[in-house]
Amino acid sequence: MPEHAAAPHAGPPPRHHMALMIWVAVFPTLTVLELLFHRWLEHLPLVAQTLVLSALVVLTVVYVLMPRLQRVRVRLLARGSR
C-alpha cells in the first residue's frame, strides 16, 4: 500500500476541539474587525453594529479560517500517529 494512502483519516473533531478551534478563529477576528471598523460603525445603532460585525466575522471564520484550522488539525493528527 502506498505511504500516502496510509495517512489517517481525520473524522469530525470532538466537541472540545471544535470549541477551541472556533474560539481561536472568532476572538481575534472579532477583535481585529472591531478595531478596523469601529469608526465607520459607531454612528449606527448597536443592533446594526452587531449585525455588520457578526456577518463579517461569520463569513471570515467559515470560509477562510476554519478550513485552514481543519487542515492544521489533520496535519497535527497525522504527525502524532507516526
Q: What is the pLDDT of residues 8-66, one digit of tens each?
A: 555 688 899 899 999 999 999 999 999 999 999 999 999 999 999 999 999 999 999 99
Grid coordinates belonging to 71: 487542515
Number of Cβ within a 10 Å radius of residue 32: 12
| Amino acid 65: pLDDT | 96
**pTM (2 d.p.):** 0.76
Q: How far is the C-alpha of 47 from the C-alpha of 14, rounded, in Å?
A: 33
Q: How far is the C-alpha of 4 from the C-alpha of 77, rounded, in Å?
A: 14
| Amino acid 81: pLDDT | 77
Distances (CA, A) of 67 to 10, 35, 46, 64: 13, 24, 30, 6
